[in-house]
Structures are given as structure tokens and as C-alpha cells.
Amino acid sequence: MLVVGSVAFDTIENANGSVQRVLGGAASYASICASYFASPAVVAVVGTDFTQQDRAPFVKRGVNLDGLEVRDGKTFHWGGSYDKDFNTAVTRFTDLNVFQNFNPVLNDIQKNARAVFLANIDPELQLSVLNQVKHPSLVACDTMNYWISSKKETLLKVVKRIDVFFLNEGEARQLTGEYNLIKAGRILLEQGVKYVVIKLGSNGAMLVSNKGLVQLPPFVLEHVHDTTGAGDTFGGGFTGYLASLEDWNNLTAIKRAMMIGNVMASFTIESFSVDRLANLSKQDVDQRLEEYVSMLKF
Amino acid sequence: MLVVGSVAFDTIENANGSVQRVLGGAASYASICASYFASPAVVAVVGTDFTQQDRAPFVKRGVNLDGLEVRDGKTFHWGGSYDKDFNTAVTRFTDLNVFQNFNPVLNDIQKNARAVFLANIDPELQLSVLNQVKHPSLVACDTMNYWISSKKETLLKVVKRIDVFFLNEGEARQLTGEYNLIKAGRILLEQGVKYVVIKLGSNGAMLVSNKGLVQLPPFVLEHVHDTTGAGDTFGGGFTGYLASLEDWNNLTAIKRAMMIGNVMASFTIESFSVDRLANLSKQDVDQRLEEYVSMLKF
């Protein structure tokens, strides 16, 4: 499974404290999460300031880093702060650094990937990756408001070629011009997406598909430490789980993938960075999945 | 099961059309919904303009109307409109009429009610009813922002004497001063409430209790006709189901009650007034409950 996106440093401030230059980036959260279900390989770029220690969480989780290009310069660095209740994230700086000239070139093994997760990056790059992968049986894609504003046409070209599309509520509305999330989802289905997964933050996620509509709650957590990376974790766990299946294209598999996305995101938000996500035992994961299933059993 | 609250006329305008002077009121939705699970009796007041035809939905559902007082004057009449996506309801008029001097006096049978649903009315009246009921084994209560602003102290006296408290997100935050819904719920548990049920609108409902935290999604509907009464239906179905049980005070029962509240509310929002809610077959209800259980099965 290929995960294309950003590997970055984050500097974050919220009501629970602050951290400087910790591991972040959509591809980091997504690949580390996917490692609990599949064998992910990252395609991303970092600067020469990205140390062995920064690689440790990937190494620990067996994430393949052959596609982690190192360029002269600094690693992408994002700084942001959250209000008390994680309602609004304010970006304080975005230093793209080496990420500015990122141009993913896949090797032969990567070109034969069966599953691809196009994490949140410039849709031009997502398209470039899609053009290089030969016969993927599963392509999932995430995006953000910035690309919907600035590169909508390119993003829509990507959308025509993917199986699973992750968006949050605001993004779904912005991209389709439709407030109602089911109607927004149906507009995207008409573009050829098989499964539109609308991430609802603390309310879980909703699936709009021609096979059915499903809404699932989150794994309920009493204490949230930091929500950075929750959506990337959701997408990585979702796609990683599907990548592990012989046949992922059915509602049973998709529902389990949604559950896994929700449950894995609950670990991410219990710490800054990937501190919690990268250090789970199989038992930790299984226990929460069981609790989730049990919460929804009548 | 006693249902105390308003029986009213509603004049509503939304994107799907408009209706004038149709049956509305919290006690109407709640009791008609409860009738699918228990034997509800309404305690409310109407004017002499409330006709036999207006009573028909109650009669059809076997709701006891012995406690429906008729006073000289007009029935409570609410007028409101919704924006295209039911995000905001704008009240256009509130003619309290005979409701202004409502003072519920229970008869001997009503005083012995085992279950009481205090639908959204003045907390002074809720307290007055509680003082008349002798040994209720289940007391559930709903409220609204207006009472939290104007009669918070009285409402808190009610809260100390109830088992189940229904609030929406905004009300939970307004009443407790705490944004985080779980923390808000815990503050209310400290007041003696056993189960705090936070209604999340199109995102279902969350339970905060000392027996566990649960979040359940809504029954997903493609087309919403009118959301008036959805919360009252939720509370009525929830309480009616619990009232039908020998032992309602356990998490299994409460979860099923939440499911029933969600599913029954989905019928209410498929039409104006109680047009859909009052005309369901057992099969209609059972089928949606099955679909809901199936949506949440992995």
C-alpha cells in the first residue's frame, strides 16, 4: 500500500500544552496507522534536518521508507494553535521548505502497488502519482479546503479516478455547493467515486454510496489531548484495512473500515504527534474495536 | 405513563412548503410516539377551538386524553420558519393563549403514574407535576434554552428529581457553562440525574452516565420534510420504551431507548405535523429498528 503525502514537523499549542517540531504530516499519521493492518510504504520528501530519531516511529511500525526522498533544505514545518475545545485550528505558519518542489517519482515496486492512499497534498501531485501507478485495485484520496479553493478543476480530475473519497463536512459542501451532506455525496458519486466518506469530527463519519448510506459514531473519549492528524489517521486506517482484504468492494468491508478509522483516530487524539498511535499493541487496538462493536450492539 | 407539556397548533414554512394551524406541541409528538410502546396519557390544555378532528391522531393511537383540559379561549399557536437545510428555526409568533394560565392538576389515577415525561414547558409546572405524582419509578425531562435563560434556578430544582434529562448541545452548554459535552453531562450527573441524553440533531444522540458513555448515530434519511417535533418524538419514544420495561435502569435498556428515540424521530421528520408519526404500522417501526441494528452490525 502506497501512502503519498506530507511528512512534516508540527509546532502545536493547545489547552493541554505545546510541542515544538514534533513528527507530523498527513502521510506520517496515515502510514503509521495503516501499519496495523497492511504494509504501507511512504512516498514523501523531507529535508536534511530529518534525523534517524524522526524516522524511529516509522521504523518501529515497519513502514517502508524507500520512497522518503531527502533533499537539501529543511523539512516542511507547520505551526498552529487550537482553542480550548478544538473547534478551530489557527495556522500560525506554513513553511513548505523542501515540500515546495516535491515531485514524486515512483520506483518499479511502487508503480505496482495494489492500494494507494493519496493523502492531503496538491491534486497535481495526486494526479501525477495516479499516472505512475499501473493497476491499483484500490485508490483512496483525501483533500482540504485550500485545494478546493485553488485547484478545484485538477481535484475533480483526481476525483474521477478514485474509489474512496474522504472529506470533512465543510469540504464536501465547498466542493459541491450543496449543504445537505447526502446530496453532496451523491454529486461526488456521479463523478465516479464509489464510496464518499464524510468525516464528521467528534460525530464520527458518514458513508454515501450506491450500496447504502451509513452513519457511524466516534469511539467516545473522555479526554482529548490533541486532534492534529485525526482525519489522516482515519483515512490511513480505513485504507490500510481495505488493502488487507481480498475483496474490499462491499458494504461489509467499508463499514468495518469506517469503524477502524474511527477507533484508530481515537488513539491519535490522546497525545501530541504520533506518540500514542505509533506505540499500540495489537491488544490495545483489538480492545477498542471490541468496545466499539459492543457500544453498538443492542 | 404521563406526558405533561404543550398541545398546540403550528404554522410552519420551510423549503418543502407550508402548513397552517396543524397539530403540534411537545406533548403531542411525545405521547403519540410513546403510544407505540406504552400507554400514554396527556396532561395539557387546549382552547375551545381544538376540534374533534384535532384529537383524531391521539384517539387513533389510543392516547388517553382525560387530562386534556379545555379552557375558554384559543389553543397555543406557534409560527416559525426554517432555512433550506433546517439549520435555524426562526420563531415568527408565539401566541400562548390558554397555555398562559396552564396549571396542571392531576387526578388520582394520574397521581399514581409509574412513568412521567416532563416535556418542554415552564419548569415551575414541571415541579408542580412532580409534587403531585406519588411514586414514579421513572421521571424523564426535556427543556429549552428559553427556560435555561429565564428560570435556571427552578429548572435546577427539577433536575435534582429526575432520572433522565434530554438536552440538545446548545442547551447542555448553556446550562452548565461547559463546552465539552461529556463534561457538561458529568456536571448534570452530579445534580442527581442518572442518564443525561444529549440530542445531537442530525448526528444522533450521546449518553453521559455513570454506567457508561454511548454515542449513537441517527437513522439516516435521504429526504427530510420538516424537523419540527423531532426532539419531542425522541424523548417520547425513549421514555415510552423504558416505561414498558420491568427494569429500565440499566445500560442495555437505555441504549435501546436511544435507538428507539432516533428511529421514531426519523418518521416525524418525514412529514409536517404528526402526519407520518401517527400513522405507522408495527411493521413500519420494526423494519426501521431492524435496519438501524443492521447498519450498526459488523
Say if residues B27 and B47 touch (Cβ distance below 8 Å): no
* C-alpha pair distances (Å), A67 with each of A22, A46, A117, B260: 21, 11, 14, 51
Task: Inform me whether the C-beta atom of residue A295 falls under 8 Å from chain B C-beta atoms.
Answer: yes
Buried b (16+ CB within 10 A) or exposed e, B226-240: bbbbbbbbbbbbbbb
- Which H or E element spans position B117? strand B115-118
SS3 (DSSP) at B44 = strand
Task: Kindly tell me the sign of the dihedral angle through the C-alpha atoms of A177, A183, A188, A191.
Answer: negative
Whether chain A has a CB inside 8 Å of the CB on B220: the answer is: yes
**ipTM score of complex:** 0.94
> Which of B169, B179, B208, B220 to mutate against chain A (most A CBs within 10 Å)?
B220
Contact B264, B289 (CB under 8 A): no
Write down the pLDDT at residue B89: 84
State whether B295 and A214 contact (CB < 8 Å): yes
* Per-residue cell: A234: 482515519
Has residue A25 got a pLDDT over 90? yes
Q: Are strands A138-142 and B212-216 parallel, antiparallel or unpaired?
A: unpaired
Q: Which of B215, B222, B256 sits opposite A298 (nearest CB)?
A: B256
Q: Which of A84, A213, A220 sits opposite B222 (nearest CB)?
A: A213
> Hey, is the C-beta of A180 within 8 angstroms of any chain B C-beta?
yes
pLDDT the model gives residue A34 = 98
Alpha-carbon distance B276 to B271, whole Å? 6
- The Cα of A255 is separated from the nearest Cα of chain B by a number of Å equal to 7
Inspect the interface and report whether the beta carbons of B222 and A182 lie closer than 8 Å.
yes
| Strand residues in chain A grouped as ranges (E) | 2-4, 8-14, 17-24, 41-47, 64-71, 77-82, 89-95, 115-118, 138-142, 164-168, 195-199, 205-209, 212-216
| CB-based contact A230:A268 (threshold 8 Å) | yes
Is the four-CA dihedral B56, B58, B60, B62 of positive or negative sign?
Answer: negative
Q: Contacts of residue A213 in chain B, CB cutoff 8 Å?
A: 220, 222
Nearest CB to A204 within list B214, B217, B255: B217
Q: Which residues on B lie below 8 Å from A180 (Cβ)?
A: 85
Q: Is the Cβ–Cβ distance between B285 and B219 less than 8 Å?
A: no
Neighbours of A283 (CB within 10 A): 8
Grid cell 457500544 in the structure block, residue? A295
Phi, psi (deg, nearest 5) at residue A280: -95, 145
Residue A227 to residues A79, A93, A221, A253, B170: CA-CA distances in angstroms?
14, 18, 12, 26, 22
Three-state DSSP class for residue A139 = strand
Residue B55: half-sphere exposure toward Cβ, Cα within 13 Å: 20
**What residues in A contact B293, CB-CB < 8 Å?**
298
Whether A121 and A90 have beta carbons less than 8 Å apart is answered as: no
Smallest CA–CA distance, residue A178 to chain B, in Å, is: 10
Query: In A, which residues are within 8 Å of B182 by CB distance?
Result: 220, 222
Work out the number of other CB atoms within 10 angstroms of the CB of residue B69: 16
What's the confidence (pLDDT) of residue A85? Answer: 82
Is the CB of residue A123 less than 8 Å away from at least one CB of chain B?
no
Would the CB atoms of A218 and B215 count as touching at under 8 Å? yes
Domain positions in chain B are 2-295
- B169 touching chain A per CB within 8 A: no
Q: Encode pLDDT of B201-216 as tens digits.
A: 999 999 999 999 999 9
CB contact under 8 A, B204 and A203: yes
- pLDDT one-digit tens code per residue, B152-194: 999 999 999 999 999 999 999 999 999 999 999 999 999 999 9
Q: For residues A44 and A37, give the distance between their C-alpha atoms in angstroms, rounded to a whole number.
A: 21
A217:B218 CB<8 A:
no
Q: Mind telling me how many Å the CA of A199 is from chain B's nearest CA? A: 12
| Residues A28-86 pLDDT 10s | 999 999 999 999 999 999 999 999 999 999 999 999 999 999 999 999 999 999 988 88
- Which helix (H) or strand (E) segment is B2 a member of? strand B2-4
Q: Chain A residue closest to B259 (CA)?
A: A298
A206 shares contact with chain B (CB less than 8 Å): yes
Question: In chain A, whose CA is at the least distance from the CA of B178?
Answer: A85
* Residue of chain A whose alpha carbon sits nearest to that of B289: A298
B255-294 b/e (C-beta count within 10 Å ≥ 16 → b)? bbbbbbbbbbbbbbbebbbbbbbbebeeeebeebbeebee
Q: Select from B200, B213, B217 the Cβ nearest to the Cβ of A220.
A: B213
* Residue of A215, A222, A296 with shortest CB distance to B218: A215
Residue A90 forms contact with B (CB below 8 Å):
no
Contact of B25 with chain A, judged by CB distance below 8 Å, is answered with no
Band the pLDDT of A93: cuts 50, 70, 90: very high
To the question of domain B2-295 being in CATH 3.40.1190.20, the answer is: yes
Distance, in Å, from the CA atom of B212 to the CA atom of B287, rounded to the nearest integer, reads 28
Nearest CA in chain B to A209: B222
Work out the burial of residue B91: count CB atoms within 10 Å of its CB; fewer than 13 is exposed, 13-18 middle, 19 or more buried.
exposed
Selecting from A180, A206, A218 the residue whose C-beta is nearest the C-beta of B85 gives A180
pLDDT digits (tens, 9 = 90+) for B217-273: 999 999 999 999 999 999 999 999 999 999 999 999 999 999 999 999 999 999 999
Angstrom CA distances, B72 to A38, B4, B97, B201, B261, stand at 72, 20, 10, 37, 35
pLDDT of residue A84: 84
The pLDDT tens digits of the residues spanning A152-197 come to 999 999 999 999 999 999 999 999 999 999 999 999 999 999 999 9
Question: pLDDT for B136-154, tens place per residue?
Answer: 999 999 999 999 999 999 9
Q: B34-83 pLDDT, tens per residue?
A: 999 999 999 999 999 999 999 999 999 999 999 999 999 999 999 999 98
Cell (9 digits) for A182: 447526502
Q: Please indicate whether, in this complex, the C-beta atoms of A259 and B179 are within 8 angstroms of each other.
A: no
CB count in 10 Å sphere of residue B81: 15
* Best to test chain A binding among B182, B211, B215 (most A CBs inside 10 Å): B215
Nearest to B204 among A85, A182, A217 (CB): A217
